[in-house]
Amino acid sequence: MIINSRYIFTGILFNLNIACFGQLKLPKLVSDGMVLQRNTEVKIWGWATSDETVQVHFLGENYTATTSNNGEWEVKLSGLEAGGPHVMQIISKKTIKGVIWYQGESNAERPGEKAELFPSMIQNWREKWNQGDFPFLFVQLHNYMESYDYPTESNWARTREAQKEALKINRKKAVLTFSNVGSGLVVQGSQKPKQFAVAGKDKKFVWAKAKIKGNKIIVWNSEVKKPVAVRYAWADNPEDANLFNKEGLPATPFRTDNW
């Protein structure tokens, strides 16, 4: 059988992650499931506001273009080989103030995925935008499906829990958000919160630094590059635990993991 190489393609799954909340637009041809020709230059193009920087990340390569006066931009991908599916990211370098994320329901039967995938996405977006740790909020899943008059298990409840837990991770620091704090959080007998420990995926806890910011506690240790769990006063005798509210009530010992 003779195969004309002009018709052998590189398959691409376009999970585009178009990281722009402004005027970045793509032609209909550039979409999920698009197939690209291998062994030739492939043009990817679109439109944005004039004099704007657009970056395309694909197969470990970064391509950059600046829009023209009429807002057009294009990059040429090279060295494509047969294979796939692959993921392409197209990023517009606009100023961003924050993100509000609405969670779909199609994967609600796998709530455990959120605890790992959501923090990774947040970290990735912050790295790609390179504009600091901008706020990342989520819209919690709303009430849905049949209502019962007795207690039940619920994947939707687990998904909401995973959403909440995922937002505690903030790059190299863990951010804990507290409710029912009265007039606010304070420390007693010291200028810094004590008895906080943090761990990475290795599940090895080390003492951590902590700082109060409103109703949040920011926790970190420079040796833990990607914190995934925090514990407070987790001991038989946490004698120097000093997190209170302004009314004088102590914070109960807690942990974010279930190890």
pLDDT digits (tens, 9 = 90+) for 108-166: 778 777 767 777 788 778 777 777 778 888 777 777 777 778 887 888 788 777 777 66
CA distance 89 to 124: 11
Q: What is the end-to-end Cα distance of the chain in Å, rounded?
A: 57
d(CA 154, CA 156): 5
- The number of folded domains in the chain is 3
Give the Å distances, CA to CA, from 10 to 7, 32, 55, 57, 64. 10, 14, 21, 16, 22
- The pLDDT > 90 percentage for the chain reads 21
Domain boundary among 92, 116, 133: 92
Same domain, 17 and 41: yes
Per-residue pLDDT reduced to its tens digit, 203-242: 999 999 999 988 889 899 988 888 889 999 999 999 899 9
> What amino acid is encoded at 123 in this protein?
Q
| 3 state SS of 182 | coil
- Residue 136, Cβ neighbours under 10 Å: how many? 19
Write down the pLDDT at residue 93. Answer: 67
- Both 232 and 153 in a single domain? no
Q: What is the mean pLDDT of the chain?
A: 80
- Give domain status of residue 1, yes or no: no
Asked if residues 73 and 65 have their Cβ atoms less than 8 Å apart, the reply is yes
H or E stretch at 62? strand 61-66
Q: Residue 32: exposed, middle, or buried by beta-carbon count in 10 A (0-12, 13-18, 19+)?
A: exposed
Residues of the domain holding 148: 96-167
Give the pLDDT band (50/70/90) at residue 194: very high
Q: Is 132 left (phi over 0), alpha (psi -120 to 50) or beta?
A: left
Q: What is the mean pLDDT of residues 70-83?
A: 85
CB 12 within 8 A of CB 84: yes
Report residue 89 CA to chain centroid gap.
15
Burial class (CB in 10 A: 0-12, 13-18, 19+), 174: buried
2 found inside a domain: no
Same domain, 29 and 87: yes
Regarding whether 244 and 233 lie in a shared domain, the answer is: yes
DSSP one-letter code for 89? E
Residues 38 and 69 in one domain: yes
Same domain, 12 and 58: yes
Same domain, 186 and 257: yes
Q: The whole model's pTM is what?
A: 0.42
Region 103-108: what's the mean pLDDT?
72
